[in-house]
Amino acid sequence: MKVSTTSILAAMALPMIHAAKPKNYVFFLPDGYGPASETFARDYANYVDDAIVKLAVDDLAIGLVRTKASDTLVTDSAAAATAYACGIKTYNGAIGVDDNYLPCGTILEAAKLNGYLTGLVVTSRITHASPAGFATHVYDRDMETEIADQLVGYSHPLGRVVDIMMGGGKCFFLPQSDEDSCREDDVDLWSIAEKTYDWTMTSSREAFDNLRNGESGDLPFAFIPTSSHMAYEADRDPQSEPSLTEMAITALNLLDRKAKEQETGFFLFLEASRIDHAGHGHDPIAHLFDILEYNRAMLAVKQWIDDHEDTALLSAADHECGGLTLGVPDYAWYPSVLTQAEHTSEHYAAIYKDIVHFNSTEAQRESLIVDRVFGDYGIYNVTPKEIAGLVTANSAAIFLGELLSARAGINWSTLGHTAVDISLFGYGLNTEKMVGNYENIEVGHFMAAELGLKLKDVTGQLQTNESFVTSIQPNVMAKKFLKRFQLEHEHDVLQARTRKH
């Protein structure tokens, strides 16, 4: 799909330099977005526009961020989110807790306790690791039921600390009797949020539109339109799901309007969540269009700050994902190959599964697969070996993504994360102070200091709540599992060192 990128490219000034402190802070996390991802999207934009252009983030680059967790050099999203939010290193899988499973105060919680308004806007499940790390405390990121409970205030020791939530994951708010539920209990969290904690809970695009870009609406407000993650940008139906840019600007306007009414400021966490998922899935189309949407949103936030100079923006990924390499083999990298697909490999894998069950001859099914799966995804001159490979693949989506990647000269070295430093972007009040190379925890420290927040005070308040601390401790079996997981990481590191020497 050859799409003009002019609207998301920018000739943007370097961060503004001011002496004052910001009243509002936006932290924007493009999950899984490494340096190669930026080059990848920029090269595509250059090809499509037939010109030398920049992405919206290019002129906002101010530094690099080091990403290791406490138990491994390769972080996951949970440990990284906790590092940014609490300003501490912790183990992979930890959500708002330290290496001893004790809760740590987050910048969002500290902001709320100091009178600020707060928000979480993501394209993953709202209960996923990154947003959870800013507002909840569990020892394992997969405890999404408990995360949902804390997000609405149902089991959070500080009460409700979030004012706006936008993202997917409705299934964790529904009782197990609901066919769309992911819970294993009878708690109707959706109703509890509305009746006990005064949330306006909606999954309706119409209700979102009624906010009129944030000019209307009250807090607390939750927009959760999908059962699980929101759609990849390339697959998104605008009739049912707004874009990340739309959600970001709506949240900014709503928080700003309400903050002015209350004579306070706000802290907003934004996440382009699914850049990471596409990296895990080795899908260049999903990766590309979610990156382009991240740049649209960054440009929109930058322009919003131009009209609200009491607001500052920092943006950094949690880690790189997929080990993306361009020009494999022999200097060959062809963005043109990516211009034909209109959807993600996940979309075409679903079509493939439908075709397999068609009541037709094998030859007819194969013809449909060649045309509607390979062809529509931009894979031409398909060989019998490639068709057979799709049939036997463990994941049709990953197989298709890797096949298209190979034709474009793209290589993925891992289905997981890597340890490379990631880019730091900044705009607005005092962000020039972050020029350089930093540990991820230092980014959190800086934002907290800019807002005059003391994270240790919140940590102390959380840790003196003995019943809550006890409730989030892993049991004996869970501790054994976590310890084994950490030992496996150490063993892998030792093996790598042995092979090196």
Task: State the catalytic residues.
Answer: 77
Q: What is the largest CA-CA distance in the chain?
A: 72
Tokens 């950490």 -> residue:
486
Q: Is 455 exposed, middle or buried (0-12, 13-18, 19+ CB in 10 A)?
A: buried
Crossing angle of the two packed helices 284-306 and 35-49, in degrees rounded to 10: 90
188: amino acid identity, one letter: D
CA–CA separation, 501 and 118 (whole Å)? 50
Beta bridge partners of 321: 417
What is the SS3 assignment for 492? Answer: helix
Helices (H) and strands (E) in the chain, counts: 18, 14
What is the SS3 assignment for 118? Answer: strand
Q: Residues 417, 75: contact at Cβ < 8 Å?
A: yes
DSSP 8-class letter at 237: -
**Residue 219 exposure: Cα atoms within 13 Å on the Cβ side:** 27
3-state SS, 387-430, equals HHHHHHCCCHHHHHHHHHHHHHCEEECCCCEECCCEEEEEEECC
Tokens 């298709």 -> residue:
400
> Which of these, 364, 266, 269, lies nearest to 315 by C-alpha position?
269
DSSP 8-class letter at 204: -
Q: Residues 110, 458: contact at Cβ < 8 Å?
A: yes
> Which of these, 64, 42, 62, lies nearest to 53 by C-alpha position?
42
> Which of these, 22, 24, 84, lies nearest to 430 by C-alpha position?
22
DSSP 8-class letter at 22: P
CA–CA separation, 441 and 450 (whole Å)? 14
- Both tokens of 237, joined, read 């139906």
What is the separation of C-alpha 347 from the centre of its chain, rounded to a whole number of angstroms? 20
> Which of these, 173, 33, 156, lies nearest to 106 by C-alpha position?
156
CA–CA separation, 315 and 26 (whole Å)? 8
Residues contacting 221, CB < 8 A, separation 6+: 163, 164, 165, 199, 200, 211, 254
CA–CA separation, 330 and 336 (whole Å)? 17
